[in-house]
Structure 1
């Protein structure tokens, strides 16, 4: 009897394990689990389907696909809460998102080239009225000269990133406002040039990784605003429908492999496979998992990894910034702002940097909508997300009344404030380029840990922060997994930082 005790203990353990996965006993389970149905997760799924890996399941926390590309109805029209522009068009290389949105992809979305050339004549003083155009032109011209000098300097720095510096440090080297921009007009031009693109100020943004910026260097300097009522997310659906089952009448995705409202809370990985536990107490088993959750989510405790991720992986995740970019839409009973050519964008120069700074009117995109958009970022985004919308509306209207003192500026009737930072499934808008990183750090953040693979815009070395970065990252990460699953080439080599 004594000799049977160890065997009995093993049987008890097996019973516990089998009980834990009883729901899986009758099925082999999918070969791959994709966590997240944003652009990178959907892109990764398409790439795997192309090589015959179709035994997968996509677990999406929200009730839709698209992630941070999401339209919503506001003031009678569909507007974009997240990504809104195809950035990098009309260059030597074709931006793959532009191909899908407005090229050979066949979607033919309504897009509008954004013209920022007239900001000098559309910059408003803190207490109202316009700055003299020549003054603002002079500031913009000097800023452009410093940027060009910064690009040349960036090209001379060692590729390891160890000589990298902040954009602000470069500005100081060029004797460009050595103590930082100080006057309201200096600050708003600086904000437009940097924060409006990267969602964080120059003091935390890498020079080497952003000047010149690969998106514009490779794909072209133009940016196009997506104003289509089908939404920018139709690009994600376009990718998804190429491999997920779709209802022929409605066009809705009805593939049982896509599971919406399924919140992943735990990923267990072993030498032989993975199990993924969800908030509704279901467990999925697979050979591999590819995690496309945002960088912001990876920096929180939403998804627990067991065993804990190795320290090199955790450090790489925490080394990057998750920025916050907030597009606030306001509906008015009538128009009181300038319209016509050269008035689409206008700036508000406050002594408080980043206070309701960049405005846009929509006479072309949403005719007759009587709607304005104001963009805030970073600390202002976090502040605004935590206050009631009626307070934000009052602040924005007060700014407009200061800008247009001679106009009858009515109360806004509706407001839309996206809350990407507060949302536990996103925790921000997109990643920003940190100081001192290079290909090595991107290799680390993209690198698999055992059978756990990672993708997302934050894993794209050249295009992080952009929709095309998310799309291309999905393909790249899927290829790393395919190499292992199909060719048994599972070793992922990370070259040294100085190699």
Structure 2
């Protein structure tokens, strides 16, 4: 390695998701010549997965560009006329109880406003979990507001908690660290920027400088990505190189490896994947951080099934109905918190399911899921819903190359005194050379769970290598 340069250094990136592509393209921009990517799936994108459905495409994974200022995704494409402002279109939520009663708009607005004001806000530090903080402040604020039916207030709080869990990919808010909530750096500006009818894959095309109308074109990464190369072993014991063995038996060697596999894969495989074993601080971060499950449903109809004045609906369970549901085979429907129209796809509805119920849903047949959703619609909605013509669901936890959707920090993370910073720490040789580096949204301290966080970490690790070689001149 003493004679290695940017032109000769062999760099292998594991994973062709947002962080892996960001790292590879940045390295090439910085003058590195020998850069390649090994991808376990038979496609690029990772948790960005745009697929044909309905009248154009939908995103099975990342869907929105969240924010403008401080969002590297937005900054990269803002002048390319690719993003569309969603505005308040999806905020017109109809809250419906399990007896088909629709909450008055005034009641829903009051309770929703109280929920938002009950979340931790800088510079305050919250005790307990995010769920503890939200629940205590919610009831305290309601006690000082106009009188409201406490039963309905409780039902709406439980639904909004599920909605908030979709932000953190947590099973419930009582496991979420309030410190993480405070440390997440929100990007100001439009929160739900959509990709019109092109999907999030169009951003990857921009990163790679690829032709947008040619699916197989990878731009600057043409010839550098090997698909269906799932890793069986990352051996970093050798003083000079890292040896990578794939499940199909093929072996690659590298001077530097940037590992961008999901936290779920690290949790499941790190003990067998890395030789020698990872240091204790790294293992503590892998165990302490959470990779949860958020799944989606897309339903296609001959025409939009919601009435003209319905854009989105969230479900409020009456206690006795919920008790009955929990004792049935359709218990998993408790994790479905709502459905809404799909922008630029007028014949579609999109639904969301979280946590342990989402993981169970993945084990059911497609027909069982559709039947369950039809039962749910009949239970709640004050109008008839037709059978969908086509149905699509996601199954992020079942996929061995992901094992979940995105990461969050829990109270357990804080108890272990670990976090993304420990996950991001590279494995160095005795001379300080980065041998194995780690990127991906879970390694971002302030933008975890987001695509822009994933991209930032890919750039971070590329810059780490660039700085290393710049210092050796």
Pick the TM interval, shorter chain.
Answer: 0.7 to 0.9
Give how far 1:338 is off: 2.2
Residue 347 (structure 1) aligned to one of 306, 314, 318:
314
What's the secondary structure of 1:285's corresponding residue?
Answer: strand
1:30·1:285 contact (CA, 8 Å) conserved in 2?
A: no
Give how far 1:264 is off: 1.5
Aligned partners of 1:180, 1:47: CA distance in 2, in Å? 54
What's the secondary structure of 1:32's corresponding residue?
Answer: strand
Is the aligned partner of 1:169 residue 2:132?
A: yes
Q: 2:426 maps to which residue?
A: 448
Gaps of 5+ in 1: 1-27, 158-162, 490-499
Aligned partners of 2:409, 2:438: CA distance in 1, in Å? 18
Q: 2:56 maps to which residue?
A: 77
What's the secondary structure of 1:87's corresponding residue?
Answer: coil
Is the aligned partner of 1:32 residue 2:2?
A: no
Match runs of 1:104-143 below 5 Å: 104=79, 106=80, 108-109=82-83, 112-113=86-87, 115-119=89-93, 122-143=94-115
Q: 1:188 maps to which residue?
A: 159
Instruction: Describe the shift of the 1:54–1:466 C-alpha distance in structure 2 as closer, same or farther (beyond 3 A).
Output: same
Q: 1:214 maps to which residue?
A: 185
TM-score normalised by length of structure 2: 0.84
What's the secondary structure of 1:420's corresponding residue?
Answer: coil
Q: 1:263 maps to which residue?
A: 230
Q: 1:372 maps to which residue?
A: 349
Give how far 1:300 is off: 1.1
Q: 2:400 maps to which residue?
A: 424
1:110·1:226 contact (CA, 8 Å) conserved in 2?
A: yes
TM-score normalised by length of structure 1: 0.80
Q: 1:495 maps to which residue?
A: none
Match runs of 1:291-440 below 5 Å: 291-301=259-269, 304-340=273-309, 343-351=310-318, 352=322, 354-362=334-342, 364-367=343-346, 370-405=347-382, 407-435=383-411, 437=414
RMSD: 2.9
Deviations 1:250-300 (A, max 9, x none): 761272221112111111112211011111211111111010001111111
Aligned partners of 1:266, 1:143: CA distance in 2, in Å? 47
1:72·1:81 contact (CA, 8 Å) conserved in 2?
A: yes
Give how far 1:339 is off: 2.5
Give how far 1:428 is off: 0.7
Is the aligned partner of 1:290 residue 2:236?
A: no
Instruction: Describe the shift of the 1:173–1:76 C-alpha distance in structure 2 as closer, same or farther (beyond 3 A).
Output: closer
1:34·1:58 contact (CA, 8 Å) conserved in 2?
A: yes
Larger displacement relative to structure 2 (28-37 or 446-455): 28-37
Aligned partners of 1:470, 1:54: CA distance in 2, in Å? 23
Aligned partners of 2:173, 2:352: CA distance in 1, in Å? 17
What's the secondary structure of 1:423's corresponding residue?
Answer: coil
Aligned partners of 1:383, 1:449: CA distance in 2, in Å? 36
Give how far 1:78 is off: 1.1
Aligned length: 433
Deviations 1:317-375 (A, max 9, x none): 111000111111112344331225xx42221112548432121113x4113xx221110
Deviations 1:421-469 (A, max 9, x none): 0001111111012236499632211001131110001111100000100
Give how far 1:409 is off: 2.1
Q: 1:57 maps to which residue?
A: 36
Q: 1:23 maps to which residue?
A: none
Give how far 1:477 is off: 1.8
